[in-house]
Chains A and B, each alone.
Chain A
């Protein structure tokens, strides 16, 4: 499991293993200030990062 959140320190404190920094807490995987297509590309890159994090080995809370 990988968690996407902008509150990574809280997630690490409660023991979440894989943490990817999200954008804002009211849209962790959004970037509304960008034009729609750019936002989509940004989101694909973020999800690619989440997938790469899933593939990594983790034995303690790790923020990427």
Chain B
């Protein structure tokens, strides 16, 4: 008979509100609150259900003591599954749920499931392998959250790891963080093992979660090129001499635009690249090698397109977070659209 242990805070256990936030850890040999709904849905599996209650303040002020009491309860009850939450957007309970689940998963190697809203600060505390069900921000999504806990538990009880992973992909929050994992092997051995597993089609898991890239539709030119204003954009870090705006040489957090008015060619010594991701000496020698102004002026003169936008845009792409680059890209695109630019040529190193 599978055993489920569910950690609830004082509020979701129905003990009380803020005045009971100092409640110390208690073990109850039955389902409480949302646990009742989950237990009922799992009836046919004959689940044995127990609850740990801990006040939000108590967990944070007496974390060591709280975990010690929880450890004793876990050792005695021997759960097969550990649940915490849903915490929705409740910060204290979200963090406590994340910490408790990560701690249980690491120490007992049993599946640990929590649930919260994507903005809950608890998402920053999630350990590897913990399931974090996505919920709404408030208790209005309680019924839906209970269904998701139940559905995932059913897959785990049925020992359907592929089903559970598919469920994770669809309903769990991605945790795009890197974790320190001790493998007992040098990194190059680990890297080669991962590569061989991939080549041979064997199962493997990277310590570095992949960040999903947002797909978007590819825009086509809406005007004839002869009537188009074209802009040059680069992530290659090219800035006027002296780097007047202090563009970072890696992990760019801002973008800048610099005038090309009156210039037909970018000259050595007048512009230079701020970028630790590539050897900039060839670009510094002739900046047209990253911002091809000389060629574009020639094609502009030949009326291949109407006009080169009077400024080029620049940031530094190396080492940057994709989310930050998406933000900068959106800013550049909005600026270009407002300036009536029809097309962009982006050079990347």
Where the two chains meet, the residues of A that have a C-beta atom closer than 8 Å to any C-beta of B are: 1-5, 7, 11, 13-15, 17-18, 22, 25-30, 32, 36, 39-40, 43-44, 46-48, 50-51, 54-55, 57-61
Contacts and interface: CB of A to CB of B under 8 A. Distances in A.
Interface stretch (B21-29, B82-90, B124-132, B211-219): B211-219
Contacts of B292: 29, 43, 46-47
19 contacts: A1-B346, A2-B344, A14-B213, A15-B213, A15-B214, A17-B218, A22-B347, A27-B282, A27-B290, A28-B349, A29-B290, A30-B283, A30-B286, A30-B290, A32-B285, A43-B295, A47-B345, A51-B345, A59-B218
Nearest to B211: A14
A41 to B, nearest CB: 9
B321 interface: no
Given A25-B278, A26-B280, A47-B296, A32 B286 contact: yes
B344 A1 contact: yes
Nearest to B322: A14
B221 A54 contact: yes
B346 A43 contact: no
B323 to A, nearest CB: 13
A35 to B, nearest CB: 12
A57 B311 CA distance: 26
Contact of A43 (B215, B236, B283, B288): B288
A58 B177 CA distance: 34
Nearest to A1: B344
Interface stretch (B46-54, B188-196, B297-305): B297-305
Contact of A29 (B218, B221, B288, B305): B288
A25 to B, nearest CB: 5
B159 interface: no
B225 A54 contact: yes
A1 B282 contact: no
Interface of B: 213-216, 218-221, 225, 228, 230, 236, 278-280, 282-283, 285-286, 288-290, 292, 294-296, 298-299, 304-305, 343-349
B218 A4 contact: no
A55 B299 CA distance: 15
A51 B283 contact: no
Contacts of A50: 345
A39 B286 CA distance: 11
Nearest to A51: B304
A29 B349 contact: no
Given A18-B218, A25-B278, A51-B225, A4 B345 contact: yes
Nearest to A45: B295
A27 B238 CA distance: 12
A51 B218 contact: no
A33 B198 CA distance: 39
Contacts of B347: 3-5, 22, 28-29
Nearest to B333: A1
A36 B285 CA distance: 11
A21 to B, nearest CB: 12
A15 B219 contact: no
